[in-house]
Amino acid sequence: MKLFGVLGDPVSHSLSPAMHNAAFKALGMDCEYHAFRVSPDSLRDAIHGAFALGFGGLNLTIPLKEKALEIVKPTELAKHIGAVNTVDFNNGMTGHNTDGIGAMKALEGGGVHVKGKNVLLLGAGGAARAIAFTLAAEGAIVTIANRTPERAISLAKDVGSAGKIRGCGLEDLKDLIKNSDILINSTAIGMSPKVTETIVTSDLMRRDLVVFDIVYNPLNTQLLQEARKAGAKTIDGVMMLVYQGAEAFKIWTGKTPPVVLMEKAVRARLS
């Protein structure tokens, strides 16, 4: 049997095991996927240990994506983004980033095209890096807004080679949203167990705004509830999870996973 896993801290909320195990079962593969709580200080030991034990591959979640760059050999894309969410052991320890493509496919699946659109991205962590880089490369005009403005400005500089990206704080949130076509939450705000939290409330939104929350547990986050109150179009975090997972699955196994089944497994677990 080949083992796979997701490392994070916290990680008990992860639905990656349900999603990947459903795909392995459907394809008749003798593989299992588990969640492991790993602190940033233990990440090097954990990745090297998984490699030594013959794991097939790993996913990384909060707060390990940026730290992994120092441990694995990143692809050019992961290096440009500045974060790793997928580690492949087929040829050494290679770090990939599938978050950006996951976000793009989630938006496209919701009928949203980003070229020429103003995107307000909340947060400046590992997922924000991938999303900002990918959307700017696709022609979006991206504003990264973070509670600590310096982090947003620094991130905008880091991934600015992709296209039009700037960073700022949250003090002008009302105007930032007013001038945006798409609002994306890439923070952990609203994630279980703190399900009543949100940065943006309905009074700041409008009907022609697209609101995409990458948090998927709970499925109906407070941000999405507020967006629906305002009549805005909403996209939940499940499809980003599924699409980034499907890309990782292809990297590890060379096989195309059953995306519809993966989505069903996640939604069933959430409901």
Q: Which of 2, 25, 65, 250 is catalytic?
A: 65
Question: For the chain, where are the E strands, in sequence order?
Answer: 2-8, 31-37, 57-60, 73-74, 86-88, 94-96, 118-122, 141-145, 165-168, 182-185, 210-213, 233-235
Whether residue 141 contacts residue 135, with contact meaning beta carbons closer than 8 Å, is answered with: no
For residue 59, list its beta bridge partners. 6, 86
Q: Is 67 a catalytic residue?
A: no
How many CA atoms lie less than 13 Å away from 211 in the CB half-sphere?
A: 29
Q: Which of 101, 106, 142 is nearest to 124 (CA)?
A: 142
Q: Which of 145, 135, 152 is nearest to 185 (CA)?
A: 145
Strand order in the sheet with 141-145: 165-168, 141-145, 118-122, 182-185, 210-213, 233-235
Phi, psi of 247 (to 5 degrees): -65, -45
Indicate which residues carry an active-site annotation: 65
